[in-house]
Structure 1
């Protein structure tokens, strides 16, 4: 009976898959509620995990929730149900960002590869090799973004340097801004019961050549622990953008981002996310060249390559991300 609610272990696995998604500063700004009457999972934003200084409009929060939503869709399909998804379904409930109703039976062989990848994917903020991305893989990443309504473009050497220069400028601004720097530092700590934030081991080194602008999360306050290593000389980056810049576009961009990351993981690629320039409106509008993508809005810059896996960041258990009233006996 396809209208029946899934067993509790299945529901918890679906939510565990969702929370395996990346989020800015590992804030995990999402909460889930299952409605057994409509067989629907609600995906809500947790506003107090937003970044007031770095993300005042909540754009990065929406991208983070969009990543979790893509994982949830894959998990629902993995368990043989069609994920019928609606974005921003109730205007009078702005924290309700999406719903996923468990529809009838569905079989999709392509889901298996991405579902397996979502458990293995995590960011690597370490140096990559100089090996180039194969053309076929690069094309598959572009198609993955397109499937979710976004554009993925890979600038050439000159465009790459221009984008990285914008991010270096943004990183200098962030470290000089006391509110933004303090906000980043608050999310760096050893894993605790909350399972939120960035463990120091996951932050990784800075680029010895100062070309790759990875966020230092406040390590500049303690120069003795600011480890450096030479990063790749010819980094491969991709710019994820959307035609519009509404809340629904942010959620679509998050789903596109996660699909790109999962396809990359399935091909053995590592990835880290660059976001600093997107936190400054004047820099963000310069990330996507007008001639290349007129009126496009940059949502994320992805660094891709082959290299070390990097340590994972902690995740909250599914039962902590589910509202208590769904913990019914299965």
Structure 2
């Protein structure tokens, strides 16, 4: 079968958001109703074979993450490591579900200079990276500083000794700056990573799990079994791709979280029948939710973290116009929406798609790709 992995970066504004299958939203609503009211009987996961109960185990090998990172580096090489254009400023816009360090590691491997403070006055290397977050601080002095930074970047491209500049940051940071500054006038081209659909996910997973068979707890079908055109027969991966917004990193992490393992010996079987030995069962992703007793403040905090990236408590107080409830960050950490890294609070990468869904349903303007 011909491989169908995405092979080029996409211009911002042309992202192909995977669409969920027609039945996925209905199933999600029914699942929410069942969880809240108990209506509709048992959860399908509870009706699965006894061997599923409480069993865990790593599904995806390290090799799948290594291949995915290699594919992303190839995309970056092809788009940004061609002939140097000293007169251009480009942007790389990524989803917050992309693991931290992917872009920075690629830059280090290829000898690109990283300007942490956003300064562009002394750019002398052929290519330099400037983080968008350095221009998105939402205070009056910081907004003035961001305007000066954009002016410096625009002026730097007119110098004969200036290298090519690549701005990079999250889709939420880019969208905020596009709406509040002249960054679109300064940047000549903005690109993002392409979406992985159900076919790409199926091929990527199948290449790394050997003879293991993945079955949906909901449908009891093999989620990797494909039609003649390469599309999976079951809708599980189509729904997963849509839930993950096309980000393969998030999709694979959600799949890992949803996996349960069937062990041997729990069910009577012939000695020569080893079919159950290689079966892994996967449930539909169970999204974390904001605790019901917390109102509005969590959305503002999540929104700030998406725009600015990891923040300390003091930094959160600077960029938010309201006083947050005591213990809010701990409550959101408990349900898996945020996590502490040192003294900073950040969005949990694998749960970013759920955070995005929470904010859009709450009426916040979504990121644009």
TM-score w.r.t. the length of structure 2 is: 0.22
- Higher Rg: 2
Q: Which has the higher contact order (CA 8 A, sep 6+)?
A: 1
TM-score normalized by structure 1?
0.24
